[in-house]
Amino acid sequence: MLICGGPLSILPASGGKPKPVQSISARSAIYLPSGFILYLDFARVLHALPFDVKRMEATGSLFPVVQDVESFDATSSGILLFRRGEPDLKIVEWVDESGNAQPIVATPGQYGFPVLSPDGKQLAMTIRDDKASQIWIYDLQRGSRNRLTFADRGVSWPVWMPDGANLLFRGSDGIFSVPVSGAGRPKRILQTHGLPESVSPDGHTLAFTLDEPNTARDIWTVPLSGKDEALSAGEPRPLINGPADEINPSFSPDGKWLAYSSSQSGAFMVYRHEHRRAEFARR
């Protein structure tokens, strides 16, 4: 049996087509005779998934084993070998058109996914501690910060709603919404392993990327309705799903276009897709 990375799949030793294992993206993976798939995700977290090779299906929920892993292996008896990586410490800076840099957060930390609010007054980002990454909001005028999430497992990919009142983000089992004011708890609006990328200027459509076993990474959209704590998502559907990788969708400021990157030419290049309102109509 062969375990394939990328969209996690299993290829039986007898041959045939790879069988996807849930909607999981992995850098590398192995199977243990004790009945587990071990895989390393792109956030350097090593996970274990109970798996029955006879039925070719998961028999339980995946769970994290260890973080900050660069590479790993395991013996047939189940002894795990792994190499840790050093924490990726960064600072956060403004950089102007001339390349001049000015620190926003000068204290080194494990920061990720910085995104400015629509009015440019706040900065959302993830900060990772010893347990998991969480989303924080920096007030750029006051120099203060506020923590928005307290998840047991790490969260990532914050995306602002156009009115600046809510953030969308990727959680352990879906895409969530949380009020930026901190007045409400995060709420899952869509069960998916996709990554939220961009919301249309009218706030009615979310574009997200999703790993698909047969077509690599694709761009999907889902209609949004409601505001603040009443924000909800409709039925998702694929928008651009060719055999190449399609990633990084971003709506234009006027909402007429969706820019994205695709590897269809053999190298990643930027393309545009016309945003026709009928394609994104709410159901």
Which tokens is 266 given?
A: 């053999």
Question: Over the stretch 220-274, which tens digit does the pLDDT of each residue have?
Answer: 999 999 988 889 999 999 999 888 889 999 999 999 999 999 988 888 899 999 8
Among all chains, which residue has been given the structure tokens 């190499």?
83
Model confidence at 277: pLDDT above 60: no
Do residue 23 and residue 99 come from a single domain?
no
Distance CA 205, CA 225 (A): 9
Please compute the mean of the pLDDT values over residues 55-72 and round it to a whole number.
Answer: 83
* Domain termination residue (choose one: 84, 108, 134): 84
Query: How far is Cα 227 from Cα 166, in angstroms, rounded to an integer?
Result: 8
Residue at a domain's end among 67, 84, 101: 84
Residue 279 binned pLDDT confidence (cut-offs 50, 70, 90): very low
User: Which of the four pLDDT bands, split at 50, 70 and 90, describes residue 63?
Assistant: confident
Same-domain pairing of 21 and 123? no
pLDDT band at 7 (very low <50, low <70, confident <90, very high): low
Domain co-membership, 148 together with 234? yes
pTM over 0.95: no
What's the pLDDT score for residue 235? Answer: 95
Considering the domain architecture, whether residues 76 and 98 belong to the same structural domain is answered as: no
Across the chain, what does the average pLDDT equal? 85
- Domain coverage including residue 268: 90-280
Residue 13, pLDDT > 80, answer no
Same domain, 217 and 80: no
CATH number at residue 213: 2.120.10.30
Residue 157: which residues within 8 A CB-CB, separation 6 or more?
Answer: 113, 169, 170, 195, 196, 197
**Tens digits of per-residue pLDDT, 86-133?**
667 788 988 887 888 888 888 888 888 999 999 999 999 999 877 788
Q: In this structure, are 41 and 114 located in the same domain?
A: no
Residues 61 and 104 in one domain: no
Res. 11: pLDDT tops 90: no
Degrees, nearest 5: CA angle 6-8-14: 115
> How many domains are contained in the chain?
2
